Amino acid sequence: MEWSTVTDWLSSHGVRILIVVLISFALYLVLHRVIPRALQLTVSKRMAKKPEEEIEQRIKTLSRVFLSTGAVFIMVAAAFMILSEIGINITPVVAGFGIAGIAIGLAPRAWSGTSSLGFSSSSKTSTQWAMW
């Protein structure tokens, strides 16, 4: 193996991968500084008449949810960029995520339709018996 090939690849692709990693890490740090402060302002205004410990608990809970979700989005985006830079085709993976998103989005709608239908039919039956 020739070292010139490796150094050429690292000089072009390695720098781009390093930039993606550094920007992702910077976004993660910004997320950790911005989200709790924004939630502190928003939740404090909305829950002005509530006890202080309830407000703090709500801020902690929402911060964890938003920080975890944001971190996952940043990591997935960085992973896709790095895989693309390495030369791996990410189109099938992105298409798979799109199909999974549609399935996840439509599943609760289907479940709620069948469960409400079952509830309404059982309530009609019980009403009919009660009226008899």
Cα 71–chain centre separation: 8
The reply to whether 96 and 55 lie within a common domain is no
The reply to whether 79 and 96 lie within a common domain is no
55 close to 43: Cβ distance less than 8 angstroms:
yes
The reply to whether 65 and 109 lie within a common domain is no
The reply to whether 45 and 82 lie within a common domain is yes
Lowest mean pLDDT of 72-76, 93-97, 125-129, name the range: 125-129
The reply to whether 115 and 69 lie within a common domain is no
Q: In the predicted model, is pLDDT for residue 2 greater than 70?
A: yes
Q: How many helices (H) and strands (E) does the chain have?
A: 4, 0
The reply to whether 31 and 72 lie within a common domain is yes
The reply to whether 103 and 114 lie within a common domain is yes
46 close to 65: Cβ distance less than 8 angstroms:
no
The reply to whether 27 and 55 lie within a common domain is yes
Residue 113 confidence class, pLDDT cut points 50, 70, 90: low
The reply to whether 99 and 81 lie within a common domain is no
Q: What is the pLDDT of residue 13?
A: 85
The reply to whether 53 and 5 lie within a common domain is yes
Domain span holding position 61: 1-88
Q: What is the pLDDT of residue 1?
A: 64
The reply to whether 60 and 120 lie within a common domain is no
pTM for the model stands at: 0.69
- What is the DSSP secondary structure assignment for residue 49, as one 8-state letter? T
pLDDT tens-digit map of 102-112? 988 888 776 66
Q: In the predicted model, is pLDDT for residue 117 greater than 70?
A: no
The reply to whether 124 and 64 lie within a common domain is no
Residue 129 confidence class, pLDDT cut points 50, 70, 90: very low
91 close to 83: Cβ distance less than 8 angstroms:
no
Structural domain total, the chain: 2
